[in-house]
Amino acid sequence: MKYLIIDDEPIAHRIIEGYCAELPHLGKVGNAYNAFEASVIVAKQKVDLIFLDINMPKMTGFDWLKTLAQAPQIIVTTAYKEYALEGYELDIVDYLLKPFSFPRFLKAVNKLGDKDSSPEPIPVFQPQQSSSSFFLKGEKKHHQIHTKDILFVEAYGNYCKVYLQAEMILSHEKISNMEKLLPKENFLRVHKSFLVATDKIKLIQGNQIFIQEHNIPIGQTYRSRINQLLGGK
């Protein structure tokens, strides 16, 4: 996987390079210290992953990201936590707050590889009650899951968290496998990292979905699915 570092602080480049050197499947294609240098590299080279700082001179990392027709996978590296929600709305992989440790960096890298670049349209939503169930492996047990009890599914690296009415189960399945398993008429992928039960949605406001006490971001590339759910409004 070819990565690019975009950050105006040289020490940040050295830290990320040192962490990446421990991971043989990552190879660097370049270093950029502002958005304009980054644009040149992205235009000339194949880039699979970008470590992106937010606050940079002349153009912020997020403003630059919005100029890309099709962005690579993005891991944000910043000292500012207040931009986290905007980052997830842009379908970033993870949001690392400086200074971050190698274990936290590794956790972010382990989330790579499940990005949908062109989500397929879903059928018009028709609420249905389903009594179907299936067994899900998690924590050395096989749990029988009733689809009607699922609130939403959250990606967690190569695993996923399945939130039920009364509990949360950490499963060995990837979210992409769960999306194939669950009935499309009842479940909707709304973000690279989130799959929701449409009949459990309490309300939708801006770029967030509310299910019980949980706030779930809507990914930019999945917005059309939400518009379809809302009848094109």
Regarding whether 103 and 11 lie in a shared domain, the answer is yes
**Same domain flag for 157 and 81:** no
Do 6 and 55 lie in one domain? The reply is: yes
Number of domains in the chain: 2
- List average pLDDT for each run of 10 residues in the chain, which is 233 residues long: 95 95 92 94 93 90 88 91 77 91 92 54 40 76 89 87 91 88 91 94 93 92 87 63
Residue 217: predicted pLDDT: 93
The single residue listed with the structure tokens 């009607």 is 148
Burial (CB count within 10 angstroms: exposed 0-12, middle 13-18, buried 19+), residue 77? buried
Same domain membership, residue 169 and residue 94:
no
pLDDT at 134: 86
14 and 93 belong to one structural domain: yes
Residues 144 and 195 in one domain: yes
Domain shared by 102 and 6, yes or no: yes
- Residues 104 and 141 placed together within one structural domain of the fold: no
Helices (H) and strands (E) in the chain, counts: 7, 15
Q: Is the pTM of this model over 0.75?
A: no
User: If DSSP codes are grouped into helix, strand and coil, which group holds residue 58?
Assistant: coil
- pLDDT at 232 (0 to 100): 59
Q: Which domain range does residue 191 map to?
A: 133-229
In a domain, 43, yes or no: yes
If asked whether residues 207 and 141 sit together in one domain, one would say: yes
pLDDT of residue 141: 79
Q: How far is CA 1 from CA 48, 73, 115, in A?
A: 6, 10, 14
218 with 151, same domain: the answer is yes
Classify residue 201: in a domain, yes or no: yes
Please state the separation of Cα 16 from the chain's center in Å. Answer: 20
3-state secondary structure of 177: helix
- pLDDT for 154: 93
Q: Which residue has the tokens 């000339």?
A: 44
Domain boundary among 94, 109, 124: 109
Do 84 and 9 belong to one domain? yes
Query: Do residue 79 and residue 171 come from a single domain?
Result: no
How distant, in Å, are the alpha carbons of 18, 47, 218, 227 from that of 199? 46, 39, 16, 16
In a domain, 115, yes or no: no
Backbone angles phi, psi at 100, to 5 degrees: -115, 145
